[in-house]
Structure 1
Amino acid sequence: MLATRITRIEERLSLHGVNNYQISYPEYLNFDQEHFATPREVGCRVMILTAIAYTIQDETKKYGIVKWLKEENIWSHVSEKEVAYLNSRTTGEDEIVDLSWKIEAAYILAWALGLVDDKPMPGEEATEAQINNMIQQLPALGDQLEPFLSQLTFRDTTEIYDENIFYELTTSHFRDTLFSGGKSRADVHVPASFERHLALNWLRRFMSVQDWDDTDTST
């Protein structure tokens, strides 16, 4: 079983131009799903990230989003940086760009919950059709969340973990290439893949970190 998983991950890396990474220790793929965030926590994070993406298009919507998140009792799941953003009147361009990429994190977490089946291609951003499909599976902003959050479950956790390892190794590839002064030819979208790596690290509580802002992506 471990050998099959290793082969599948390595072949996928090679398919996308990451040829210099092998999983030498099968134990690397061992995990304990009891350490994962709960499906409910992941659902809260998906809703928060989606709501923030909405405010990026129109910052006047921040007040209503804050009010809704508090009324639905998930404000405690909003990170410190997100609280600062939602309570601010103005936002810098760099922060807006950074927050805009978080829709990639929302999508891969929705995939982990089985809300969407169409996994994003490593070499591309999630498509508009994929994002629209995800939004259709979520409660509308302003709706009650408890009926949605209370029925969430994960897809196969081995599939989730292996997806995390794939993106962990693509991050390693890009960092190693950068530090060596080289240029990557990998067919992997750097910002999108990093957000997927970060989101799945948070889901599996990499390095035992539970806080979204503090999630570690070291490799």
Structure 2
Amino acid sequence: MLDGKNEVRKRSVEEISRRAVACLIAILAALEQNNGNYENEREFLLGKLEAFGVTNDLTPKEKSVIDAQANEQEIINMVWKYESYWALVWALGFVDELNFPDTIVDGPTAIGIVAKFSNLDEFIAAAKLRDIDEILDEADLIYRYHWACVNARINNLPMPKKLDEGVVMERRAGLWWIVDMDKENDWDNVAMDT
């Protein structure tokens, strides 16, 4: 299913950290827009982008959300990125284990991981990047979960073990990006073939 550790490119602690922080700030912007409170929080979030030095790390979709140019579906899609972000912070060692993907991540817990740091250097210093074998094992497992979800959906069967396909897909996207599985380096469009 997955390439071996010699055929993938594991991203660096800095790459994953930049991606995690930029992603989280875009998620928070999407949440505030969804709640109708973005104008009150916009300057705070822009300040966080600046403090962490990740403004230039925003993807086009994240920038669209930050700039309040995203439509309703794009905002919803960005909020789902919590699950991809969760895979990143797991790989960085901030989360002990990825729980079974049947429920969404707890927002305050996810936010708290970055909130306790004032800049990217502190965040990177606290990170403990997992071994490539452990990341590939988790990527293989989530691929299998995704295949089970797709199989259930196309065959009109109940979701196995109450998997949440949205959680599975976003976690897979995060893990796939970490090991550059599709060789495209495009966070906004990670290949999700099953």
2: distance between equivalents of 1:170 and 1:34?
A: 21
1:151 deviates by 5.0
Q: Kindly provide the amino acid, as one letter, of the partner of residue 214 in structure 1.
A: N
How far apart are 1:33 and its partner, in Å? 7.8
Post-superposition CA distance 1:154-193 (Å, at most 9, x none) = 12321211111111122222223433x4223302111111
CA offsets, 1:117-136, max 9 Å, x none? 1422222222x3xx444433
Deviates more, 1:207-216 or 1:197-206: 207-216
TM-score by length of 2: 0.82
- Counterpart of 1:84 (choices 64, 70, 76) is 64
Aligned to 2:148: 173
Identical counterparts, % of pairs? 19
Rounded to whole Å, the distance in 2 between the matches of 1:133 and 1:71 is 21
Q: Structure 1: give runs of 5+ residues left out of the alignment.
A: 1-22
Alpha-carbon contact 1:40-1:150 (below 8 Å) kept: no
In structure 2, the partner of 1:75 is 55
Residues 68, 36 of structure 1: CA spacing in aligned structure 2 closer, same or farther, 3 A cutoff?
Answer: same
User: What SS does the corresponding residue of 2:188 show, helix, strand or coil?
Assistant: coil
**How far apart, CA to CA, are the structure 2 residues paired with 1:119 and 1:176?**
23
Shift of 1:205: 0.3
User: Which one has the largest radius of gyration?
Assistant: 1
- Residue 191 of structure 1 corresponds to which residue in structure 2? 166
The change in CA–CA distance for 1:191 and 1:34 in structure 2 (over 3 A counts) is closer
Structure 2: stretches of 5+ with no match in the other structure:
none
Query: 2: distance between equivalents of 1:134 and 1:71?
Result: 19
2:91–2:130 CA contact under 8 A, matched in 1: yes
**Structure 1 moving runs of 4+ over 6 Å:** none
Q: Distance in 2 between matches of 1:116 and 1:73?
A: 23
SS in 2 for 1:121: coil
**Structure 1 residues 114-129: aligned runs within 5 Å:** 114-126=93-105, 128=106
Contact 1:116 1:133 in 2 (8 A): no
Q: Which residue of 1 aligns with 2:114?
A: 138
- Count how many residue pairs are aligned between Structure 1 and Structure 2: 187
CA distance in 2, matches of 1:184, 1:210: 34
Check the 8 A contact 1:125/1:192 in 2, yes or no.
yes
* SS of equivalent to 1:182: coil
CA contact (8 A) 1:33 1:204 kept: no
Q: Normalization by structure 1: what TM-score? A: 0.74
Query: 1:35, CA displacement in angstroms?
Result: 0.7
Alignment of 1:1-219 (within 5 A): 28=2, 30-32=4-6, 35-55=9-29, 56-57=31-32, 58-60=37-39, 61-70=41-50, 72-88=52-68, 91-126=70-105, 128=106, 131-140=107-116, 143-179=118-154, 181-187=155-161, 188-219=163-194
The equivalent of 1:13 in structure 2 is none
Aligned AA (2:112):
Q
The RMSD of aligned alpha carbons is 2.4
